[in-house]
Amino acid sequence: MRAKPPSPRVNGRVFPSADSPATPAFPGLPTISQRRTLYPACEPNYTDYLRVSPDHELYYEESGNPDGVPVIFLHGGPGSGTEPNQRRFFDPSYYRIILFDQRGAGLSRPHAALVDNTTWHLIADLEQLRTHLGIERWLVFGGSWGSTLALAYAERYPERVTGLVLRGIFLFTKRELDWFYQDGACLLFPDSWEDFVRDIPLSERGELLTAYQSRLDSPDPKVQLAAARAWSLWEARTSRLYEDPAAIPHIIDDQFALAFARIENHYFLNRGFFAREHQLLEEIGRIRHIPAVIVQGRYDIVCPMEAAWSLHRAWPEADLRIVPDAGHSATEPGVIHELILATDRMRELALGRPGERGPATAAARESETGSSAGGQPG
């Protein structure tokens, strides 16, 4: 008989593993059966392309309620593109759900293009898309790089944002990039790191972003694809508390990996095209009046919790929700639970009903932080 794996321990407390009985690990943490799950699958009402420059056409789609409250989903990467399950973070009877693939990503054209592909081009694209769709203001939802873009967009156009739901915060600092691509995450995943650096000579490993750029820009397609797959696989293997082997084939698919790796590397080498390293925190005063929820996995290796905590300290009005048994991925059960609660709360706020956090999640938040994460910083 196969032995069950041990349950993970967090701060001395035992949390149930995926196949443990649905019993509370400690008072306040939602059981597996109590956690919210994604809304039912829905098909787009329509899809189209929007030309935003002589070189770029963006794929976009709408689903849900055509007359509902608009929400824009900002995917990660940059370069990952959207996929159908991302529609399911929103109540389709209430929200007008808009997904789009950023420049060079997903179904947008041209594929994996780096020309005129910067944060500020994407922010201009968002405004062009909003105007094209006849939307005055919208809820902005973004995770990982999507949280970066959401913050940058909201700080540039606060009057266009009704609320923010952010996940896996990435502030685009050198510290964050060095942690994941130079010296930090490799200490926790030395096996996966070995695969990531295998084809990079020792003489080039002191500047891995540059080393990968030369391969991702290679005129040899085989060299490009090998580098793209290795780059993408490193992030996939570190994104979840428990690795999901079923996700790997998509991640190393030629089409996905090439756009993901090339565009990410392009942005990372250019430090997100921000004028100042801490620009997003320095300009947070422009959006502190906007309702916001921050969802962060405690064991996020890709975007460690330090960034979410820094954002919370700068923006105490935002509701920080720490998921004690999750990493970086938006598809981990605890993260899904908090994101669904967040979009539902934004719905209730819009309807004039503040809504309930639910005693389970409120207690879990207090248990993880030691106090209410929405309080004033000390």
Residues annotated as catalytic are 144, 300, 328
Separation of CA 181 from chain center: 18
DSSP bridge pairs for 64: 96
Read off the amino acid at residue 71. Answer: V
DSSP H helical segments within 198-253, as ranges?
208-216, 221-238, 248-251
Separation in Å, CA 354 to CA 291, 357, 376:
11, 9, 20
Decide: helix, strand or coil at residue 298: coil
Decide: helix, strand or coil at residue 72: strand
Through-space distance between the first and last CA atoms of the chain, rounded to whole angstroms: 52
Closest by alpha carbon to 338, among 30, 94, 66, 27? 30
DSSP state of 351: T
For every residue of 189-212, DSSP letters joined together read -HHHHHHHHTTS-GGGTTSHHHHH
Q: Which residue has tokens 């080393």?
A: 211
How many other CB atoms sit within 10 Å of the CB of residue 41? 11
User: How many Å apart are CA 332 and CA 22, to the nearest integer?
Assistant: 16
